[in-house]
Structure 1
Amino acid sequence: MALSTEMIADFLQSVHPYDSLERAERHALAARITPQTYAPGDDIYELGQGLEALFIIYRGEVAIRDETSAPLSQLSKRNSFGERALMRGGVAATSARALGDTVLLALPTADFMALQKSSAAARRFFDRTPAPQPAKPSLATQRVDSLMSTPALCCTPEDSAQQAARIMRDARVSALCVTEGETLQGIVTNRDLSGKILAEARDFATPVSQIMTPAPVTLPPSAIGSDVLHLMMERRIGHVPIVAAGKLVGIVTQTDLTRVQAVNSGEIVAEIARANSAEQMALVTARIPQLLMQLTASGLSHNVVTRLITDIADAATRCLLALGEAKLGPPPVPYLWLACGSQGRQEQTGVSDQDNCLILHDDMRPEDDVYFEALANFVCDGLNTCGYVYCPGDMMAREARWRQPLQVWRSYFETWIATPDKEAQMLASVMFDLRAIGGDASLFADLQSSTLENASKNSIFVSHMIANSLTHTPPLGLFRGFATLRDREHKNRIDMKHNGVVPVLDLGRVYALQGGLAQVNTRARLEAAAAAGVLSRSGGADLLAAYDFIAQTRLEHQAKQIKAGQAPDNFLAPSSLPDFERSHLRDAFVVVKTMQSALGHGRGMLG
């Protein structure tokens, strides 16, 4: 079939981004295109072959495969391919084969590059990096190191209360960090001076060590402003020291926060911290869907929105722990409440159940479990009341198996690593996402580091974890590159959780395991893996961009449902997306599948 320039130009008018071109520009571009015909089974190009053109499917279907010939994507009319190779020097990292009688339109590399320079629509379409976020200052996006006062004003534990007061008066500050060398020992505030010295008529020579708050809560420089806000609201404090590698590097005060606008999540955290029952908290957490919609609509990235949403769950959990202790009395031995799943990774969206466990001090006696069972039931029931429904798999502290002394937890991890059967792989996957929420954090610190070290050194366990991570695959198939669900309830939709973000979560967990990396958040794991050389920088950049697009699309889908008065879910109809977003989503899934294939064949360093 001979194609004239006019026919090609008419066809391009129905394909984005060429439909954005002026008629004369589109006609000139069509004149540079060469039609190519392929029979069923013909190779269009092979792995490692140099490409000299971008391909647009005019008719037929094309299978894209990785270097092991595993299918990555099946493309049809109006889809394009080859652009990634052209942007990376022209060498194909995949192969392409015609599945039927196929006609392709080949746009030479020089014209493809010129098109991107001349057309903003083309640049946006072929650019695989995330869209830049608004530059407007916001607590939700500003790192603490850009907010904190540095250097922090300090005194020593031996300094007198009067000396501390004079330092604060002269510097016009309301608090001092109490240090020995560079190590933070405590914090002393104006409130301490008035409430413990003046109000009690104590000697002005009283050492600061006797009136300070010892071992105050701190944050790292990598925290964001909303972390400070939520901490202040929940703990009712006005000063948060910033500590890196055990050394004091600055302090953030309420005054510092007035320079940027607080997000609504801070109000929700504050209301939860003041609640006296789960029922009161439930009235507050009912506003989470509206908050998610507002945060997403404001242009915040998925990782910031989910961080803010997770902060609310953390605050609710700690408040319930405090209410539980008030009801049951002090715990018989120290304990630590931990979250796993999306809360553990700080990735909660509008659809979240609860996943949690308890680590108890080894001094506990069997009869002490009566207390901790009651506490666990109180907190889990309260979370369920607040909308964090019970885990379908019973991965909760109210189950005796997940409420054990530290030595039992050590034996759990040792057994899972030594005998990585299917259940062990599943449990290890969940438990590698643990994050301390409330209680004695020292119960987890050594367990986390030693488990990670032992697991990363066990090649058999790592191999099993890799195999387990490949069980969730991106939804690539026949329908414009997507494999949609067939069940009646979700027909022609894709599961943006299990086939969207979960494959990337699994990859991030394995990369962290391979590199012995302590990060739990998926994005942080991918960044750390690239920095540590577990992933190549280009491979890491591709996977980060793909993850961002998939996760952002999922979040925006939920925000649209909430806006329409619907309950948010994870089931997205590809047909509901514009061509631009649908094409980019497909390309993001192709990247994920390529990285899965590389990991499965021992090539985690895919460039």
Structure 2
Amino acid sequence: MTDALLPNILQFIGQIDPFDKIPKNALRTLATQVQITYLGKGEVIDLCTAEQEKSLYIVRTGSMEQRKVDGVLRAKLGPDDMFGFSVLGKDASSDKGYRAIAIEDSLVYIIPQTALQTLFSAHPDCAEHFASQAQVRLKSALDVVWSNKEKGLFIRTVGEVASGRVAVVTADQTIQAVAHEMRMVQRSSCAVIYDNDTIVGLITDRDMTKRVIAHGVAIDRPISDVMTHSPLTIKPDDLVLHAASVMMQFNIRNLPVVEDNKVVGLLTTTHLVQNHRVQAIFLIEKIKYAGSIKSLASFTPERQAIFEALVDGRVAPEVIGKVMTMIMDAYTRRLIQIAIDKLGPPPCNFSWIVAGSHARNEVHMLSDQDSAIVLSDSATDNDRIYFNHLAMIVTNGLASCDYPLCPGKYMAATPKWCQPVRVWKEYYKKWVSNPEYERLLNISVFLEIRTIYGNSEYETTLRDALHSNIRNNREFLSTLVNDAITTNPPLGIFNNLVLEKSGENKKTLNVKKYAINLIIDLARIYGLAVECDLSATDERFKAANSQNALSDDAFKNITGAYQFILSLRFSHQLEALKQGQKPDNNINPDSFGSFERKHLKDAFRIVADLQEAAKVRFGSR
């Protein structure tokens, strides 16, 4: 390369992520080693052969596509795009390689691996941006977008805030012995009570005053006589915000922190007051005591403000989903109680269940209503009339609070979705045994369910029935795969290749249709394959990974891709809200810089790879 070309090369690569993060002197040194090659249409750079020198390639002009050894499309590339990561790292031996083919005349810059290694030796922080593994690059990208500084309570876990001091006793110990353990040994305001290996009770210092001293109970009596039975507990990796919501909902001051049935700490209301004051907690509290639907509807701007603060504050996407879900839960529970106050006590046992993003704890500003009512098998026709009225009050109330009605009418107010347990079990049996289009659509909505009010045992019964039916008809998973792969991720995001062709969203990328939904579908399939009882997308992938249905690499890849795509979606929606526009899922690719383009291509390729893996594993026809 002649010195005359150096300024042009520097100017070009200096504005491309991640070269824009390299110190200027180091970038100039690297630029002097750039090689330039011209490829005519149809010419190939073959990265399948060991003889090919390891290098990083940047498309300067033109366009190319990557093809795997078997000819399957890996990605499409345009100006500013890079390839060659997978043959640079230590894991390159596990990569079968691919061919990069010019689909029009193209100018390509080549940076030899030796030049990059010299850069990494001098500047180790740069290495992650050029990592050979996609999940490392995506994590690096998320670390840039979602800074770990000053995120506050929203991402603090219970384990970070809770006290390690908690008394652990057995049910046959005396009241006096337990009081001694609490006061003199652990100096804890609370004791957790076991019977064999099971947590059976809880006692606090306040309970001791009210139940023992005030009533003159003999202190040589067993603690089981005065304990609170079947106490609520929390996990160390749960959000503090979730714990606070539970404490307010059930009016409790102490939550034992339990991991693998072992008490590891205690969370108290004092911990919350001492550590943080968070707007979302107070919104949930206000919702809980709202006296009317009109009052609830007045909180909508505050809910939007919380969403904006979370996204603006660079909180992780999964945390944003959980916080917004807790708020929607609070609205729904309060509306159910308002309906019961108006209609009178329920005539029989029931469960209000939610589906879709609400069930997955992935609520966002565009989430609509997906719900159903499961009734006791003893329910009469008159009982069903009562619940139809209740459902109308709740669903219309949610609509007044800016949670849109479901366009497909998958709501408890639709009589078909307000049925006894036995009818729901028949639904699942019919859907799994013969999943025609309409039935497949029905079960796709109700493949994730979560109880937010009423008898939670009905949810367990229905989930067990679903798993049992799938166990007896393994072809159902194959059908789900066939449906999930009818849409492919956008392996090219330039020259309008994957953009909407008409309508008001013309020339935009629907990130929900072409990416987020595909990942959710794959999570459903892998989750059902291992009979996972959890609904969240990341939890389903985690369950599949723990049962060896999904490799460690595939798990890290797909969860990293999901979080990165969600982060872009939330940022896009935030920008719309700030401009007073209605948020949507349609992003104009012209707004992508090289940073977003590069990492989106990683993410889309990961989704395509997992679609292929699912086809192989579950026998897609």
TM-score, normalising length from structure 2?
Answer: 0.87
**Residue 56 of structure 1 is aligned with which of 58, 62, 72?**
58
Any residues of structure 2 matched to 1:441-480 within 5 Å, and which?
Answer: 441-456=456-471, 458-477=473-492, 479=494
Matched, 1:372 2:387: yes
Structure 1 residues 543-552 or 235-244, which shifts more? 235-244
**Residue 75 of structure 1 is aligned with which of 61, 77, 86?**
77
Q: CA offsets, 1:245-268, max 9 Å, x none? A: 666554321123345324321111
**Residue 100 of structure 2 is aligned with which of 71, 96, 99?**
96
Say if 1:343 and 1:355, in contact at 8 Å, map to a contact too. Answer: yes
Matched, 1:144 2:147: no
Deviation of the 1:137 alpha carbon = 7.4
What's the secondary structure of 2:199's corresponding residue? strand
Measured on the aligned residues, the alpha-carbon RMSD in Å equals 3.1
**Residue 507 of structure 1 is aligned with which of 522, 530, 533?**
522
2:614 alignment partner AA: L
Return closer, same or farther for 1:60/1:456 CA change in 2, 3 Å cut-off: farther
Structure 1 residues 393-402 or 174-183, which shifts more? 174-183
What's the secondary structure of 2:59's corresponding residue? strand
What's the secondary structure of 1:56's corresponding residue? strand
Structure 1 residues 119-128 or 320-329, which shifts more? 119-128
What's the secondary structure of 1:428's corresponding residue? helix
Say if 2:343 and 2:390, in contact at 8 Å, map to a contact too. Answer: yes
Deviation of the 1:412 alpha carbon = 1.2
Name the counterpart of 2:317.
302
Give distance in 2, aligned partners of 1:475 and 1:168: 60
**Residue 448 of structure 2 is aligned with which of 433, 436, 448?**
433
What's the secondary structure of 2:608's corresponding residue? helix
What's the secondary structure of 1:596's corresponding residue? helix
Deviation of the 1:603 alpha carbon = 8.6
**Residue 4 of structure 2 is aligned with which of 3, 6, 18?**
6
Unmatched runs of 5 consecutive residues or more in structure 1: none
Return closer, same or farther for 1:24/1:303 CA change in 2, 3 Å cut-off: closer
What's the secondary structure of 2:488's corresponding residue? coil
What's the secondary structure of 1:379's corresponding residue? helix
Q: CA offsets, 1:425-480, max 9 Å, x none? A: 22222212111211111112233134225425633111001111123332333616
Matched, 1:41 2:45: no
Give distance in 2, aligned partners of 1:24 and 1:255: 53
Identical aligned residues as a percent: 28
Name the counterpart of 2:139.
129
Structure 1 residues 582-591 or 293-302, which shifts more? 582-591
Q: CA offsets, 1:132-177, max 9 Å, x none? A: 3415574322332344445643566677777766766656654444
Give distance in 1, aligned partners of 2:371 and 2:187: 44
Say if 1:137 and 1:260, in contact at 8 Å, map to a contact too. Answer: no
Say if 2:360 and 2:536, in contact at 8 Å, map to a contact too. Answer: yes
Deviation of the 1:71 alpha carbon = 2.9
**Residue 396 of structure 2 is aligned with which of 381, 400, 421?**
381
Deviation of the 1:390 alpha carbon = 0.7
2:514 alignment partner AA: N
Say if 1:354 and 1:391, in contact at 8 Å, map to a contact too. Answer: yes
Name the counterpart of 2:330.
315
Structure 1 residues 352-361 or 329-338, which shifts more? 329-338
Give distance in 1, aligned partners of 2:451 and 2:258: 18
Structure 1 residues 480-489 or 286-295, which shifts more? 480-489
Say if 2:496 and 2:507, in contact at 8 Å, map to a contact too. Answer: no
Say if 1:59 and 1:104, in contact at 8 Å, map to a contact too. Answer: yes
Name the counterpart of 1:153.
167
What's the secondary structure of 2:453's corresponding residue? strand
Deviation of the 1:325 alpha carbon = 2.2
Matched, 1:350 2:352: no
Say if 1:5 and 1:30, in contact at 8 Å, map to a contact too. Answer: no
Give distance in 2, aligned partners of 1:509 and 1:330: 36
Name the counterpart of 2:30.
29
1:330 alignment partner AA: P
Return closer, same or farther for 1:50/1:489 CA change in 2, 3 Å cut-off: farther
Name the counterpart of 2:565.
550
Corresponding pairs, count: 601
What's the secondary structure of 1:77's corresponding residue? coil
Say if 2:41 and 2:106, in contact at 8 Å, map to a contact too. Answer: yes
Give distance in 2, aligned partners of 1:479 and 1:153: 61
Say if 1:357 and 1:397, in contact at 8 Å, map to a contact too. Answer: yes
Deviation of the 1:395 alpha carbon = 0.7
Matched, 1:538 2:559: no
Return closer, same or farther for 1:597/1:113 CA change in 2, 3 Å cut-off: farther
Say if 1:5 and 1:27, in contact at 8 Å, map to a contact too. Answer: no
Any residues of structure 2 matched to 1:408-427 within 5 Å, and which?
Answer: 408-427=423-442
Q: CA offsets, 1:56-88, max 9 Å, x none? A: 123321112345534343212222112133233
Any residues of structure 2 matched to 1:517-536 within 5 Å, and which?
Answer: 517-536=532-551
Give distance in 2, aligned partners of 1:20 and 1:138: 28
Say if 1:139 and 1:261, in contact at 8 Å, map to a contact too. Answer: yes
Return closer, same or farther for 1:423/1:246 CA change in 2, 3 Å cut-off: farther
Say if 2:151 and 2:314, in contact at 8 Å, map to a contact too. Answer: no
Deviation of the 1:212 alpha carbon = 4.7
Q: CA offsets, 1:101-154, max 9 Å, x none? A: 233222222223333454556744663324334155743223323444456435
What's the secondary structure of 1:105's corresponding residue? strand
Name the counterpart of 1:329.
344
Deviation of the 1:198 alpha carbon = 6.7
What's the secondary structure of 2:408's corresponding residue? coil
What's the secondary structure of 2:256's corresponding residue? strand
Deviation of the 1:359 alpha carbon = 1.4
